[in-house]
Structure 1
Amino acid sequence: MSMRSEFSLEAADLVAWGGTDNGDMLLWLPTGTPEKWPTWIGAARQFSHRVVHASSTRVVFDLLTGRLRTNIFPDDFPSDRPEFHTVFRPLW
């Protein structure tokens, strides 16, 4: 089922909040109240995706602890030493 039919969203509606160095993306699907927005995890250069109905904090925690496994990320994800980088783009 597509995001368009399942969530009534267009590509411009999605909100990117995370990604990997391989180009995989984590996006909010803005439906309902913001604290309940599901996360769409999409594979780079593929049509594979997964929707997780949890907060972004829960998604990151579950990915890093191994509670959330997905075939979108490599088998060795997360690495023994995950790195985090913030991206800030000022509006001016």
Structure 2
Amino acid sequence: MPAAKDNIKAEQVYSALGQSLKAPITQKRIWKLQWRDNEIDLESEVGKPLPSSYQTGKELVLAIFECENLYKICTLSRGAVKGEPILVGKNSQSSPTYFSDNVNN
């Protein structure tokens, strides 16, 4: 969770957000998600802004949850404090990268 004061607070916020979105809380967490929408390649990364096509300005992606048939991407105004998260279908054109796959974390 970007801007969390420590790992404990980050876990508390992540768990609360997941519960409110009815998303499973697992140990395997998504760091980045790449997908294709209307012939456009898109990418979302925790701690960075969403693609400009979502018009959320410089709001950071707080979390990406992996659900049964889709992914839920959350920013403050899209799923966390208000609004609905961005929904990305799970298919051959969506590809998650997990924190455990990122050698820099």
**TM-score under structure 1 length normalisation:** 0.30
Tell me which protein shows more strand as a share of its residues: 2
Q: Which has the larger radius of gyration?
A: 1
**TM-score under structure 2 length normalisation:** 0.27
